Structure 1
Amino acid sequence: MELKPRPTTDEDIQVLLVEDDERLAALTARYLHERGLAVTLAHTGQEGLAQAGRHRYDIILLDLMLPGRDGMEVCHALRTRSDVPIIMVTSRREETDRVLGLESGADDYLLKPYSPRELLARIRAQVRRARGQIGPNTQFLQVGPLRLDPSSLTASVNGKPFSLTTYEFMVLRVLAEHAGRVLSREQILGAINTNAEEVFDRSIDVHVFRLRQKMEADPHSPQLLKTVRGVGYMLSRGEDP
């Protein structure tokens, strides 16, 4: 099922909604469609993966509890081939589930029942970041061997590029803008948080772990993204011991 957007001045956003509750999926799709977004529905994890392989979407809304391949498995599979923003949607409220969702590659985590207006705000926020519309400063950031390009949300170390999700880029950008300084989790959250997002302390640990896997030669002995025990995290300027 696919709903094409009516003529609108709103941004053209292509959404893949993977939700097995057909009534909720239809209501959500209708709400987004009426606000100018194009929505494609999938009701199983396997169907969602197939749709994502056939078409390039701006964002994927992914239910956690799906028949067959659940949301965690689908998210992990998507991340092996795409950096499309993913918002995981679930009624499970335990922090462990949210951490696992982020570890599987999700950019955001939305609890059911949710406000359609909040969902739309989160979609727009993630798509703006993915399109590089995250602020007026689009110049390169260079910190030692690390180079960040805010206009494309890309990064490289010693000229070797690596992919980032939008949330990973935001965390790394905050640390790069304060290179050589130790930032607490609360300071990092304060720098990247918006009213459209629900964040929590352990999410920073998850993203730092994933960043180290991508940018460090030895993630178990990081030379760039360092932990200061009991305080927080610091991005080395290159000359830091």
Structure 2
Amino acid sequence: MNKITVLVVDDDPEIRDIIHIFLCNEGYHVLEATNGMQAFEIVNTSRVQLIILDVMMPHMDGIKACLKIRETSNIPIIMLSAKEEEIDKITGLTTGADDYVTKPFSLLELMARVKAQLRRQSYSVMDQEEVIAVGDLIIDKARHQVTIKEREVFLTPIEFSILELMASHRGYVFSADKIYERVWNETTHFSENTVVVHVRNLREKIEENPREPRYVKTVWGVGYKIEK
């Protein structure tokens, strides 16, 4: 059985080493890069299932690397950063990251985030023949693919999971904390802004006019829904 490959990107060799050892002990195959440019090259030449990406690096930082990777790939990305301000977290998520962990971090917490992202990836292909149609919006679970008017839309794993959740329960209003609980599979570390940013990113990709959404509706003071 092929091992899952995780790419660790950080210019600090000590951090790379300790994450590398921990991941290997958990049974993963690990690749390393010291900056965003190297990470982008590895993604284009190797089969990587998840990326752990530091923000502050020389040559190409994590923000720019995430944006560049998202041009061609929806690989789950967990960002690492010493910055703890909420605005920094929002910036990371806006660029396409799926999760955000601040330094110093617990290796057990990081591993829990890694496993959660990989579970989400595997869950998305369980229903091999299920396709959800919401007007011109088609969600193909088996292919982890979204199209609008036959035009493919590239979503991150988190964006896909949020869309799939609401499309599978049309008419149901999901609060931000309920979306977090169902998509992230946890109730801790909840931040409403995390969900808001991902929903905003999702709308930017699937809505013709994100300010007047056709698919993902806001129920003010309650949450979000896709209508029946």
What is the TM-score normalised by the length of structure 1? 0.84
Paired residues of 2:116 and 2:184 also in contact (CA < 8 A) = no
Amino acid corresponding to residue 210 of structure 1 in structure 2: N
Q: Does 1:54 align with 2:63?
A: no
* C-alpha distance in structure 2 between counterparts of 1:52 and 1:136, whole Å: 25
* C-alpha distance in structure 2 between counterparts of 1:230 and 1:197, whole Å: 22
Paired residues of 1:147 and 1:156 also in contact (CA < 8 A) = yes
Cα deviation for residue 76 of structure 1 reads 0.8
Q: Please list, as runs of the form range in 1=range in 2, the aligned pairs for 1:130-141 lying within 5 A after superposition.
A: 130=121, 132-134=122-124, 137=127, 139-141=130-132
Q: Does 1:119 align with 2:110?
A: yes
Q: Please list, as runs of the form range in 1=range in 2, the aligned pairs for 1:1-241 lying within 5 A after superposition.
A: 12-130=3-121, 132-134=122-124, 137=127, 139-195=130-186, 198-237=189-228
* C-alpha distance in structure 1 between counterparts of 2:156 and 2:92, whole Å: 13
Paired residues of 1:90 and 1:111 also in contact (CA < 8 A) = yes
Amino acid corresponding to residue 52 of structure 2 in structure 1: L
Cα deviation for residue 136 of structure 1 reads 5.7
Residue in 2 that maps onto 1:3: none
Amino acid corresponding to residue 37 of structure 2 in structure 1: Q
Identity %, equivalent residues: 34
Cα deviation for residue 137 of structure 1 reads 4.9
Structure 1 range deviating more: 199-208 or 17-26: 199-208
Query: Structure 1 residues 188, 133: closer, same or farther in 2, change over 3 A?
Result: closer
* C-alpha distance in structure 2 between counterparts of 1:48 and 1:175, whole Å: 33
Cα deviation for residue 71 of structure 1 reads 1.0
Deviations 1:119-153 (A, max 9, x none): 223222212322x3258655223333333223332
Cα deviation for residue 80 of structure 1 reads 0.9
* C-alpha distance in structure 1 between counterparts of 2:27 and 2:187, whole Å: 19
**Mind listing any 5+ residue stretches in structure 2 that lack a counterpart?**
none
Amino acid corresponding to residue 64 of structure 1 in structure 2: V
* C-alpha distance in structure 2 between counterparts of 1:79 and 1:65, whole Å: 18
Cα deviation for residue 92 of structure 1 reads 1.4
Structure 1 vs Structure 2 CA RMSD:
2.3
* C-alpha distance in structure 1 between counterparts of 2:188 and 2:34, whole Å: 25
Amino acid corresponding to residue 92 of structure 2 in structure 1: G
Paired residues of 1:228 and 1:234 also in contact (CA < 8 A) = yes
* C-alpha distance in structure 2 between counterparts of 1:196 and 1:28, whole Å: 25
SS of residue paired to 1:156: strand
Cα deviation for residue 207 of structure 1 reads 1.4
Paired residues of 1:133 and 1:151 also in contact (CA < 8 A) = no
Q: In terms of Rg, which structure is larger?
A: 1
Query: Structure 1 residues 152, 197: closer, same or farther in 2, change over 3 A?
Result: farther
Structure 1 range deviating more: 145-154 or 159-168: 145-154
